[in-house]
Structure 1
């Protein structure tokens, strides 16, 4: 079968989407990926064919000035979310829709897979009547009557009062989510489609919403009949070879903050100083946004730009992360607990969820080196974190091994679009 995959350069949010391309190619299917020029090498490594977006906004180089969002410039979380909406989700919807529609007009495809943030790509596929899946490389993001409101870190409801809270929050957040939908509905009108009130309604128009996380991690499920949990896709960000670990047999701590720029250099410095003071070995990965030379090293702390998570994390006793979904879920799948220091975006929600599962500790991003060192030591000495992570990791690995992702992807071309 032949799939069109629509993605954007979202840092750590992108590898799961490319892992899907790799899976399909390995199973004998043809995949054409529309994505930013900065993803060319990563896409080629999957065996898929790469096409740059003809008109939609995209990142032309890894320079900070070429970042589409630049959300680090925002002073509040609300401002950052608004920028994501206006510059990616809704603002350029007409251009993404036109590019996808033109691709489907030019050559045959059996199905479209689109990053769930690219609402315009979903519009283009819907307009051409092609079976479509929205890909969600995180926990489920949209408002739901059966879940706590996203972003507040609230625990799932366990009584009538909690369920009433969730229903009330759903009404408020659904109404608020309607802001900024003008460009999406303009794109829909241009393609002869009826308007939608909010992003969730656009997701509801897809044949499937595939949530790329462990269902055991993201609970409870949303009230969305087209949604399926398919387990995480543990695709690595490309790294150059193996690295030499610090000598000795002390517990290994792996540090991975955002692979995109989030003003994380100062936090990495504090983490490095904290780990240098402890009887541990540590590997700090800075990602492409930070020069490793900016971060101090010591006899027990190695700093590199990138390293294979698949190689490092299973050897670790603890992972320190910003709680981006990619790094966090890789740690938990390997049965390794995490110390979460959220920087923004969906990270506070991921950290709160991990803490509720008993697999993580959480610190504020302003925590000093002493506080970080204390938290690391506490987590290494308290076995309950490791026990909970091993249990949760086993459930996540079983979901991956079930093959549900491949089954959903290969069944998609045979699905009929639901009636309007």
Structure 2
């Protein structure tokens, strides 16, 4: 039995796959402690792991923030987005993460620390304590890599030298922008911890032993990843709040459409309502799951459409004919594994990139999140009318299922857990403040 310490942040859709990794280690008989936000406590205790809050006394300055603190849906200005990401997801919580992780390591030294992708403070703390750490990437690979279009653009892979130059230029600009807001603050922390400074933001991630990319190689675009990064296949776990023994089946006999637009709030109420109004125009049935971010009572219902806060997507998708989604990685993976085509209305984050991969493989269509009910209805109708979308989704789903079946993830985590180098961290006289 080995001892693992997970350092996780609440990224909404990132929680089920990351907690799913911890669950698989628990199932193998290992001891697993999870440092996480209190919003994740039920998920963690449900898998039999030990829950350790980032801040035992409750939220405080420097602790991991609530997901809603970063209101990225309110702006498309790159500088504002980068500043918000630094303040609320990376540099802002870094000192609190490092402090809490070092306290946990000092109490009981783990064999391996496993970090969320944005838990830079936890990575720095593990590095300072000479404890090996791995990083979980719960979606497509987001760092600059040859062959991949820049993250967040929704672009297809470049086919010409001009396109490849464009990708390099955008990646360089994004790296400089994020580093501008993030690296000075991270280096202040690293200096206090006695660690060498970072040159660019991604240096911290590249110091991990392994980067486990929790998606399918068949789904992502071909790329030259660094030697420490490898595809582990998707984790298909549903969130604990979505588990239910039964769920309402819409009345009627038409095709069943599952509507699942984000488990976190992204100002998606109007978009969801437009989807409901679109389905009402068609001879179909709809099951709309709002997630914790929306109250079903704030939406106008229609005939043959059920609106609920949650339902187990893994079960519902098996009964559905088509999935309408914002393009969150978890929903996209579950739809493909079930061989179901999609209509994708990306809102932001990695969703345009997921939509680009769905459409490139012919497994669905993408429309703007601001699309009218008529436009959405047309896309749904087109996908249902053509067998090619379902066939493409099934072909891709077969490859993804094969990758899930032979995933090396747990074996790699066990193999990377030999006990680590000698404990050498000497705390700063006043600690990482």
TM-score, with length taken from structure 1: 0.93
1:388 to 392, 404, 407: 392
SS at structure 2 position matched to 1:254: strand
CA RMSD of aligned residues (A): 2.0
Among 285, 288, 293, the residue aligned to 1:284: 288
- Asked whether the equivalents of residues 212 and 229 of structure 1 are also in contact (C-alpha less than 8 Å), the reply is yes
Q: Match for 2:236 among 209, 220, 234?
A: 234
Equivalent residues of 1:37, 1:59 under 8 A apart: no
User: Could you give the per-residue CA deviations for residues 337-396 of structure 1, whole angstroms, max 9, x where no partner exists?
Assistant: 111101122211221222112112111111111111111001111111111111111111
- The secondary structure found in structure 2 opposite 1:176 is helix
Question: Relative to 1, partners in 2 of residues 1:165 and 1:269: Cα closer, same or farther, differing over 3 Å?
Answer: closer
1:313 aligns with 317
Match of 2:220 in 1: 218
Tell me the secondary structure at the aligned position of residue 359 of structure 2. helix
Query: What is the match of residue 249 of structure 2?
Result: 245
- Secondary structure of the residue aligned to 2:194 is coil
Cα distance in 1 between the residues matched to 2:307 and 2:379: 21
Alignment of 1:120-139 (within 5 A): 120-139=121-140
Q: Secondary structure at the match of 1:231?
A: coil
Which residue does 2:358 correspond to in 1? Answer: 354
In structure 2, how many angstroms separate the alpha carbons of the residues matched to 1:58 and 1:123? 15
Q: Secondary structure at the match of 2:80?
A: helix
Q: In structure 2, do the counterparts of structure 1 residues 340 and 81 end up closer, same or farther at CA, with 3 Å as the change threshold?
A: farther
Question: Would you say the 8 A contact 1:241–1:307 is kept in 2?
Answer: no
Range that drifts further, 163-172 or 278-287 = 163-172
The CA distance in 2 between the partners of 1:387 and 1:81, in whole Å, is 39
Distance 2:297 2:377 in 1: 22
Count of aligned residue pairs for this structure pair: 412
Counterpart position of 1:47: 48
1:227 Cα deviation after fit: 0.1
Shift of 1:219: 1.7
Partner of 2:272: 268
The separation in 2 between residues aligned to 1:216 and 1:390, in whole angstroms, is 13
Q: 2:82, 2:178 within 8 Å by CA — same for their partners in 1?
A: no
The whole-number CA distance in structure 1 between the counterparts of 2:137 and 2:274 is: 32
Distance in 1, matches of 2:161 and 2:78, equals: 30
**Aligned 8 A contact 1:119 1:199 in 2:** no
For 1:148 and 1:35, locate their aligned partners in 2 and report how far apart those are by CA, in whole Å. Answer: 32
Range moving further from structure 2, 190-199 or 381-390: 190-199
Q: CA deviation at 1:221?
A: 2.9
For normalisation by structure 2, the TM-score amounts to: 0.90
Deviation at 1:284, TM superposition (A): 0.2
Q: Name stretches of at least 5 consecutive residues in structure 2 with no aligned partner.
A: 422-433
Unpaired runs of at least 5, structure 1: 61-65
Q: How far did 1:108 drift? A: 2.1
Q: Who is 1:17 aligned against?
A: 18
Instruction: Report if the CA contact (8 A) 1:253-1:281 is conserved.
Output: yes
